[in-house]
């Protein structure tokens, strides 16, 4: 069975841990796994498609595919027939005959679901309006590096709590057994369906979910503080209203005083200093955003290798995490 990664909960807690273990191994030994190198037959291709702009995702996937022995085929917005001249399903049926994995940044989550339903090769969500699950693998790897564990830690996310990052913090965080607190204004809190899914996963892992309009309630003693832009891609026309709406949810020095003394700060970037995060915090000693950005590379390489192995399309050598990933086949 082909495994896809469209939403954070597509990996169980054990599978997520396998991917993070493999990511840590690949960070130590960058070229140790080569699922896209076809022995004696050259290199396999991975399609990396963008309907929205990107720096980190584009560079980390292109570099990661090359590191894994493959050839990245990066397709920018408007450069293919997809979405305007040709359906998602027809596109998938063509791509699956040529490429080994499809990575796609797009708007509607339903498009990714349609791509996956029509593809015999893994499909990876490189950000949709609803989720950013690859970013969360990098964030979890970063937290683990700095805190030594995930389960039992408390993460507070402040700001636009109806966006893709809020949803993914909830789902990926509780999958790792974390206590995830999300704070935003009325009307910009997570969809109840996402909260229910997070609560159900938390019941399995020992994590927990808190949704609040009070930033102080979310921040109290938190081990990790995270935020994201108040104006996501596609929301540019709402910018003026949004900059007012979220003012009380900024991650600044006053907010950080309410978190644990040794709290770390995450931001997926791009960041807007003076809005969702102050310059002294993002450029200060508690910020780990540059580790977080680098970890996109290692986490996504592990994800691609794991999905190829779990789909029966490649083998993994016995690295820490790699053998366990292969056991996930057909799960
Ligand atoms: N964090 C993130 O996904 O960055 P890009 O939009 O630059 O890819
Ligand atoms: N919420 C942001 C994340 C950017 C990486 C957006 O969707 O634009």
pLDDT per residue over 279-303, tens digit each?
Answer: 999 999 999 999 999 999 999 999 9
Per-residue confidence band for 47, with pLDDT thresholds at 50, 70 and 90: very high
Asked if residue 57 lies in contact with residue 296, where contact means CB atoms within 8 angstroms, the answer is: yes
Of 14-28, 157-171, 249-263, 309-323, the least confident:
309-323
**Whole-angstrom distance, CA of residue 121 vs CA of residue 114:** 13
Instruction: Say what the pLDDT of residue 6 is.
Output: 99
Instruction: Say what the pLDDT of residue 76 is.
Output: 95
Asked if residue 122 lies in contact with residue 5, where contact means CB atoms within 8 angstroms, the answer is: yes
The residue annotated as part of the active site, out of 67, 130, 139, 228, is: 228
Whether pLDDT at 146 is above 50: yes
Q: Is 81 annotated as a binding residue?
A: yes
Q: What is the mean pLDDT of residues 189-200?
A: 98
CATH architecture of 13-131+296-311: 3-Layer(aba) Sandwich (3.40)
Q: What is the mean pLDDT of residues 261-276?
A: 98
Whether pLDDT at 217 is above 50: yes
Whether pLDDT at 38 is above 90: no
pLDDT: is 317 or 33 the higher one? 33
Span from the CA of 137 to the centroid of ligand 1 (angstroms)? 13
Alpha-helical (H) ranges within 35-103 are: 56-67, 88-95
CATH fold label, 135-290: Rossmann fold (3.40.50)
Span from the CA of 268 to the centroid of ligand 1 (angstroms)? 7
Span from the CA of 274 to the centroid of ligand 1 (angstroms)? 19
Q: Where are the domains of the chain?
A: 13-131+296-311, 135-290
Span from the CA of 52 to the centroid of ligand 1 (angstroms)? 10
Instruction: Say what the pLDDT of residue 41 is.
Output: 78
> Could you say which ligand is closest to the alpha carbon of residue 135?
1
SS (H, E, C) 208-275: EEEEECCHHHHHCCCCEEEECCCCCCCCHHHHHHHHHHCHHHCECHHHHCCCCCCCEEEECCCCCECC
Distance between first and last Cα of the chain: 8
Per-residue confidence band for 320, with pLDDT thresholds at 50, 70 and 90: low
Instruction: Say what the pLDDT of residue 325 is.
Output: 43
Span from the CA of 92 to the centroid of ligand 2 (angstroms)? 25
Share of the chain above pLDDT 70, in %: 96
**What pairs with residue 179 in β-bridges?**
154, 208
Whether pLDDT at 36 is above 60: yes
Answer yes or no: 105 catalytic: yes
**Ligand 2 site, CB within 6 A:** 127, 132, 163-165, 228-229, 232-233, 268
Q: What is the mean pLDDT of residues 56-80?
A: 97
- Cβ–ligand 1 distance for 232 under 6 Å, the answer no
Answer yes or no: 135 catalytic: yes
Whether pLDDT at 318 is above 80: no
- Cβ–ligand 1 distance for 233 under 6 Å, the answer no
Per-residue confidence band for 326, with pLDDT thresholds at 50, 70 and 90: very low
Whether pLDDT at 224 is above 50: yes
Share of the chain above pLDDT 90, in %: 92
- Cβ–ligand 1 distance for 57 under 6 Å, the answer yes
Asked if residue 109 lies in contact with residue 75, where contact means CB atoms within 8 angstroms, the answer is: no
Q: Is 84 annotated as a binding residue?
A: no
Ligand 1 atom nearest to 293, measured from its CA: 1
Whether pLDDT at 321 is above 60: no
The residue annotated as part of the active site, out of 132, 144, 181, 267, is: 132
Q: Is 141 annotated as a binding residue?
A: no
Tokens 């994995």 sit at which residue?
101
């Amino acid at each position: 069975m082909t495994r896809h990664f469209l939403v954070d909960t597509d990996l169980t807690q054990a599978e997520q841990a396998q991917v993070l273990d493999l990511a840590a191994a690949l960070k130590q030994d960058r070229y140790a796994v080569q699922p896209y190198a076809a022995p004696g037959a050259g290199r396999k291709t991975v399609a990396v498609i963008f309907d929205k702009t990107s720096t980190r995702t584009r560079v980390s996937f292109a570099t990661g595919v090359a590191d894994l022995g493959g050839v990245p085929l990066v397709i920018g917005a408007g450069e293919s027939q997809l979405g305007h001249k040709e359906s998602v399903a027809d596109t998938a049926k063509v791509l699956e005959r040529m490429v080994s994995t499809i990575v796609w940044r797009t708007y509607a989550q339903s498009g990714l679901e349609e791509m996956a339903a029509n593809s015999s090769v893994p499909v990876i969500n490189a950000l949709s309006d609803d989720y950013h699950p690859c970013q969360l693998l990098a964030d979890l790897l970063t937290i683990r590096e700095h805190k030594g564990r995930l389960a039992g830690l408390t993460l507070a996310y402040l700001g636009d709590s109806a966006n893709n990052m809020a949803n993914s913090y909830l789902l990926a965080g509780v999958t790792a057994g974390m206590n995830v607190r999300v704070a935003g204004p009325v009307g910009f809190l997570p969809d109840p369906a996402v909260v229910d899914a997070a609560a159900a996963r938390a019941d399995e892992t020992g994590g927990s979910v808190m949704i609040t309009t009070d930033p102080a309630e979310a921040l109290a003693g938190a081990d990790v503080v995270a935020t994201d832009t108040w104006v996501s891609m596609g929301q540019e026309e709402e910018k003026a209203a949004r900059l007012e709406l979220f003012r009380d949810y900024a991650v600044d020095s006053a907010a950080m005083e309410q978190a644990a003394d040794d709290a770390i700060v995450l931001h997926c970037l791009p960041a807007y200093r003076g809005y969702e995060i102050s310059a002294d915090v993002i450029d200060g000693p508690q910020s780990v955003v540059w580790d977080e950005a680098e970890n996109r590379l290692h986490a996504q390489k592990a994800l691609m290798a794991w999905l190829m192995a779990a789909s029966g399309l490649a083998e993994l050598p016995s690295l820490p995490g790699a053998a366990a990933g292969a056991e996930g086949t057909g799960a």
